[in-house]
Structure 1
Amino acid sequence: MSRGGYTRAGYNLVDQAVIAAPPAKVWEALIAELSGASGWWNEKNSFTPTHLRPGTEGALTEIAVRPNGMGKPGPELRFTAKTTRVVPAELLRMDYVKGNFSGSGTFRLRPAGHGRTSLSMEFRASPEGWLKLLARAKDVGAEHSLGTAAAFRKLNRQFGAGGPAAGDNPLPSEAWEEAWEEDAAGRWEGVIRTEDGALLSVVDRKPVAVAVGVGATGTETGTALLIHGWGGCQKDWEPVAKGLLRSGIRVLTLDLRGHGRSSLGRAALSLDLLATDAGAVLAGRGVQDPLLVGHSGGGLAALLLAASPPRHSPDTRPVGVRGLALLGTAVHGQQVSAAELALMGSPLFSLVLGIPLLAGRILATTMGPRGPFPGRMDVAAHLAATPPPVRRAYFSLIKALDLRDEASQLSFPVVLMSGGEDRVVPPAVLHEGSRSFLQPLVIDVPGRGHALHVEAPDAVVAAVREIFNEQAANQPATGYGSA
């Protein structure tokens, strides 16, 4: 999977795959390739060590990239990498000290179970010299990620498997997961694999008192799944997540496919597919009676997850939901012009969002509110980091959208929250859509814009807690299947 993009500060990319070999073997293959083996890395690249082997601190490696292919006419990128940190079979960091890039490239290896390795490359670098001009016209970062993904696929085949990054291996019907982190406080961070090979980055947190089993206050109220909107990521939910955890609520967040640290997968993008992804996350983590919280487009996926019959994966759709909270979500009536889609698909838009003054003005005009708020630059950064083709594809999903029939099917508590200065889904549009629900609670938040989970986290936490309080005496809904 890959994430990131180009901002004023440079490229911030992470590409990852699960390799069908243990870390020691993958490490050997990596060091051999960086030493010039030319066995599996992108054939457009070459590595030439000039001082020590790359797996030794202080080593220098000359890297050349010919976008048109080695031995073919065209431009050539050259830069020198110095190995600055080595943890055998775990981590290799190379700093780019001269040439067309400055910054660093870091390889990380983690055990993924069953003799496999989670291999990632973090590319945090800025173009230098003439490449600065090329980067304004060509998505060099996307080319880097495509090349890295192809290399990881080739390495996987070298070990006799297709792997999640390869896109050509048979996929299990059940959700697949890899734990990156699980600590005493009840935090699990990892990826869940979908049926079409997408890897969804997920964080699952339990209230500390519950996780460590202390005191009578350790009763877990329930579980909330938080789904971000287009151009966001799960980090946007951090203030809300902390508030819910303090209230005794277990919190799951995910990066939608193509956002944050999640990959796109092979299936054609649709709202129904996103709803199925959310269901796979719940099934993979063994959640039985969630409350779904969605922001903007993420609310549409949450609504479909709760109301629509399964189309892709019958085993991962819910048969019962505790409640639904939608923040700045319009179930119908939203329009997306060709000009807006072109803007979302433009790399130039990402560059502009990397300039704080311009980003603040753009978001105040397009999202609201007029005044600044803590977290606005984070919203801009996450929107900029979402690859332009992904942004365009997601915004295309809401053209001529009408989910009023699905909304009318919901019999559990529904809360709709509207920012008084929301310019994406104005209060009038949200209120009109609220008529489709049976008995919704509509909450207006004056002076706030579209990003309510960032601008008014306390109000969102209070609304979610209200749903849990209302449902406290009810019998839990039927679950999603076994953990």
Structure 2
Amino acid sequence: MSSSSWTERVVLVRDGVRLSCRDWGRSGGSGPDTLLLHGLAGHCGEWDALARLLRDAGHRVVALDQRGHGSSERLPADVSRAAYVADVLAVVEELGLVRPLLIGQSLGGHTALLTAAARPDLPRALVLVEAGPGEPEPGLPEQIGGWLRAWPVPFPSREAAVAYLGDGKRAVGEGWADGLEERDGGLWPRFDPEVMERSLHENARRDFREEWAAVTCPGLVVLGEGGIIGRDQYADMARARPGLRGVSLPGAGHDVHLERPELLGGLILDFVRRQGL
């Protein structure tokens, strides 16, 4: 599948899992290679606005449908944090990304963080959007799984999906609705709730402060004022990484990349320029 803006690339990883990417290429210039990682139950199309902005600024941009999501393998056996990290490494190698800028939102940001910790030589820099090392949350998988199973699917129309998934925020609803597929007379998610639950099991058991402390590349954290990362958690992150840059966007929630893509893009480009990347 292709469009005038991006081309689908398929990568097969060690356990036979098929990964689908949107490769936006580069429009000219010498910006860093960039890999975009969406959050839980998301899809690579969430990044379209940001991907286009970064590509037009000279970045080579790739957005990944992570395992269990979108056009990638829907029912992978392994959804450990290590498997998600291994997927990033496989995509970087297969598509020839050179010391990429890793950008991730929510669980995608967590994957980017773990990749940077496991392979300090790999990323040029790390951008976490509403993401961090987290804290143990024993009931998190069941809570998220219950929310996903409560979706009134199939949605009878795109407008109904936008209204439900956006909860009053049109841009958020549009972004989530873009991840649905049409079949059997309605619109359905492109993920399995049970797979999403299993993907959170490690996050429910422990924090990842040790991995955060092992990250050595420059870092930018972008938070929504109404998001999931509180002041105390960010302060803890900053204490472990004194050179960390952090920005909180007033009026934004967890889906900063959908609500404020132009502002997020500007922050990233400014960060890249200041760091000389």
| TM-score normalised per structure 1 | 0.50
- Deviation at 1:410? 2.2
- Deviation at 1:286? 0.8
Distance 1:414 1:399 in 2: 25
| Gap change, CA 1:181 and 1:361, over 3 Å in 2 | closer
Task: Tell me the residue number matched to 2:214.
Answer: 409
Task: Tell me the residue number matched to 1:271.
Answer: 81
| Gap change, CA 1:199 and 1:318, over 3 Å in 2 | farther
SS of the residue aligned with 1:273? helix
| Gap change, CA 1:389 and 1:447, over 3 Å in 2 | same
Task: Tell me the residue number matched to 1:204.
Answer: 23
Taking the TM superposition and a 5 Å limit, the aligned residue runs for 1:450-465 are 450-465=254-269
Q: Structure 1 counterpart of 2:241, which letter?
A: F
Task: Tell me the residue number matched to 2:128.
Answer: 326
Contact 2:162-2:170 within 8 A present in 1 as well: no
Task: Tell me the residue number matched to 1:49.
Answer: none
1:246 matched to 2:48? The reply is no
- Deviation at 1:181? 5.2
SS of the residue aligned with 1:253? strand
Task: Tell me the residue number matched to 1:230.
Answer: 40
Task: Tell me the residue number matched to 1:378.
Answer: 175
Q: Structure 1 counterpart of 2:229, which letter?
A: V
SS of the residue aligned with 2:151? helix
Taking the TM superposition and a 5 Å limit, the aligned residue runs for 1:436-475 are 436-472=240-276
Distance 1:182 1:345 in 2: 30
- Deviation at 1:258? 1.1
Q: Structure 2 counterpart of 1:382, which letter?
A: G
1:302 matched to 2:112? The reply is yes
Deviations 1:144-170 (A, max 9, x none): xxxxxxxxxxxxxxxxxxxxxxxxxxx
| Gap change, CA 1:350 and 1:197, over 3 Å in 2 | farther
Between structure 1 and structure 2, the one with the greater Rg is 1
- Deviation at 1:388? 1.9
318-327 or 296-305, larger mean C-alpha shift = 318-327
Task: Tell me the residue number matched to 2:223.
Answer: 418
| Gap change, CA 1:447 and 1:195, over 3 Å in 2 | same
Taking the TM superposition and a 5 Å limit, the aligned residue runs for 1:55-134 are none
Fraction of identical pairs, as percent: 25
Contact 1:345-1:392 within 8 A present in 2 as well: no
| Gap change, CA 1:358 and 1:425, over 3 Å in 2 | farther
Distance 1:205 1:228 in 2: 16
Taking the TM superposition and a 5 Å limit, the aligned residue runs for 1:165-176 are none
Deviations 1:48-85 (A, max 9, x none): xxxxxxxxxxxxxxxxxxxxxxxxxxxxxxxxxxxxxx
Contact 2:145-2:196 within 8 A present in 1 as well: no
Q: Root-mean-square deviation (CA), in Å?
A: 2.8
Task: Tell me the residue number matched to 2:14.
Answer: 195
Which residues of structure 2 form unaligned runs of 5+?
Answer: 181-188
Q: Which has the higher contact order (CA 8 A, sep 6+)?
A: 2
| Gap change, CA 1:447 and 1:373, over 3 Å in 2 | farther
| Gap change, CA 1:337 and 1:354, over 3 Å in 2 | farther
Whose strand fraction is larger, Structure 1's or Structure 2's?
1
Q: Structure 2 counterpart of 1:434, which letter?
A: A
| Gap change, CA 1:400 and 1:436, over 3 Å in 2 | farther
SS of the residue aligned with 1:294? strand
1:433 matched to 2:237? The reply is yes
| Gap change, CA 1:295 and 1:341, over 3 Å in 2 | closer
Distance 1:281 1:182 in 2: 20
Distance 1:261 1:343 in 2: 23
Deviations 1:96-129 (A, max 9, x none): xxxxxxxxxxxxxxxxxxxxxxxxxxxxxxxxxx
Contact 1:332-1:400 within 8 A present in 2 as well: no
Task: Tell me the residue number matched to 1:390.
Answer: 195
Distance 2:116 2:91 in 1: 14
Contact 1:229-1:295 within 8 A present in 2 as well: yes
Deviations 1:408-444 (A, max 9, x none): 222321001110111x334543443333323110100
- Of 392, 395, 399 in structure 1, the residue corresponding to residue 204 of structure 2 is 399
